[in-house]
């Protein structure tokens, strides 16, 4: 596939239920629902109650942490909902002189973008743990989104024959206060929202039907 070609996968996160099921929000469950082809976070909580801290019938589901999300992906893989997944994140060292911050994600945005693009080409979706208010890095991540597309947009440069590229990712978001999906430049995403350490997962073509009781 041409590196300039736009890649867009079909699955999207499930919109946030209103009112929330978990008081802190259900973004993790919404993202997992979209990834796994489930009806919504209520089904996620019912299938994997331990990850949602449901130990007694009267317990209210709790939002899934980034650790819980990984556990659900691993369990879903064993249940046949996922063909393959990767929850280890490579670390790149910037190959230029701008090392005064160490190696934050936005300084290796191109390498990260190419890694994500390769995964999308192979049919893997990416879940990212981000700062919803775009105030990274001074704020801890508090939201989960799914990355479903990649594209490069070229513009003519000031010198004849030169051009510059903008490497963008398509973000699918469950929040009621943001667009359902939007294209974001990769370095801007990493700088303002975090989300460097992706979980990559390739869903099974035919979802496995497992009867569950949803609240």
pLDDT of residue 215: 43
Consecutive 10-residue averages of pLDDT for the chain (215 residues): 78 97 96 97 96 91 96 97 95 73 85 97 98 94 98 78 82 96 97 96 73 46
- Contacts of residue 90, Cβ cutoff 8 Å, sequence gap at least 6: 115
- pLDDT on residue 82: 97
Alpha-carbon distance of 123 to 120, in angstroms, equals: 5
Buried b (16+ CB within 10 A) or exposed e, 8-29: ebeebbbbbbeeebbeebbbbb
Select from 179, 71, 195 the least CA-distant residue to 131.
195
Enumerate domains of the chain plus CATH numbers. Answer: 7-203 (3.90.70)
Burial of 194 (0-12, 13-18, 19+ CB in 10 A): buried
pLDDT of residue 163: 66
Q: What is the pLDDT of residue 214?
A: 44
pLDDT of residue 197: 95
CA 65 to chain centre: 13
Report how far residue 114's alpha carbon sits from residue 155's, in angstroms, rounded to the nearest whole number. 19
pTM: 0.89
149 near 171, Cβ under 8 Å?
A: no
């Amino acid at each position: 596939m041409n590196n300039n070609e736009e890649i867009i996968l079909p699955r999207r996160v499930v919109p946030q239920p209103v009112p929330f099921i978990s008081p802190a929000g259900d973004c993790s469950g919404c993202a997992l629902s979209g990834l796994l082809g489930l009806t919504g976070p209520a089904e996620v909580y019912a299938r994997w109650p331990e990850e949602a801290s449901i130990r007694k019938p009267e317990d209210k589901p709790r939002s899934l942490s980034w650790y819980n999300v990984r556990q659900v992906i691993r369990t879903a893989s064993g249940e046949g909902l996922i063909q393959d997944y990767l929850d280890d994140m490579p670390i790149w060292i910037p190959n230029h002189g701008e090392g005064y911050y160490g190696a934050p994600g936005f300084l290796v945005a191109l390498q990260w973008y190419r890694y994500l693009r390769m995964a999308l080409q192979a049919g893997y979706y990416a879940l990212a743990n981000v700062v919803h208010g775009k105030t990274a890095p001074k704020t801890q991540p508090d939201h989960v989104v799914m990355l479903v597309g990649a594209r490069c947009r070229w513009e003519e440069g000031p010198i004849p024959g030169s051009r510059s590229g903008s490497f963008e990712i398509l973000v699918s978001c469950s929040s009621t206060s943001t667009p359902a999906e939007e294209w974001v430049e990769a370095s801007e995403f990493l700088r303002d929202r975090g989300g460097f350490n992706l979980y990559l997962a390739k869903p099974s073509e035919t979802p496995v039907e497992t009867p569950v009781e949803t609240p």
